A and B are shown apart, each in its own frame.
Chain A
Amino acid sequence: DVKVTQSSRYLVKRTGEKVFLECVQDMDHENMFWYRQDPGLGLRLIYFSYDVKMKEKGDIPEGYSVSREKKERFSLILESASTNQTSMYLCASSSPRGADREKLFFGSGTQLSVL
């Protein structure tokens, strides 16, 4: 069964801390994405990656960076966490080929609280 695993279900951090959110997929997918989900705003794309060491900005990249050193792993980094980054973070992956082309497979999310 396809699986996208996010390292933490809940995370509490202090303002100014550097925060790492990890995501691993076991489907050999080329594409990986980070979204944040906020009530009334839906899912908004932060960053995405089409291949190892490649990254592209989504719609709300400010305050975030990403790292993709291996195909299966995509990390989201909050350089200096702020309270307005309190949110649910969702990682997803997809393949550009095959019957499931364009289908996003999501992890269960990380609820981050910045105090």
Chain B
Amino acid sequence: QQQVKQSPQSLIVQKGGISIINCAYENTAFDYFPWYQQFPGKGPALLIAIRPDVSEKKEGRFTISFNKSAKQFSLHIMDSQPGDSATYFCAASKSSSDKLIFGTGTRLQVFP
């Protein structure tokens, strides 16, 4: 049973464009939604995270948009750069648990 569905599986964006990755969750008890970034040969690293008390969180060129009623959240990368080329994972968990449920990942390629 896949509790966090992520799309698209892969994404190709031109430098300077906007990259958008979407995730949907099923469990309404989830209250923590992080995004992890993974470069080849490395483990994932936390990029940005949001809780459902806000609808948007921005850190530099990275923004999470959160829609509680639709049970969806998305990552927007503005002014995408070749250095952003990586695999991105959304995830979700309940604060009462430290157990993260991950999406299936999106491989982003940004071309100059």
Contact = CB atoms under 8 A, between A and B. Distances in A.
Interface residues of B, number: 23
Interface of A: 4, 31, 33, 35, 40-45, 48, 50, 58, 90, 92, 94, 96, 102-104, 106-109
B87 to A, nearest CB: 9
B6 A42 contact: yes
A102 B100 CA distance: 9
A81 B104 CA distance: 24
Interface string B78-112: 00000000000100010100111111110000000
B48 to A, nearest CB: 11
B89 A42 contact: yes
Nearest to B9: A40
A92 B43 contact: yes
Nearest to B102: A43
Interface of A is mostly: strand
Interface in B7-32: 9, 32
Contacts of A106: 43-45
B41 interface: yes
A35 B36 CA distance: 14
Nearest to A104: B100
Contacts of A43: 44, 89, 102, 105
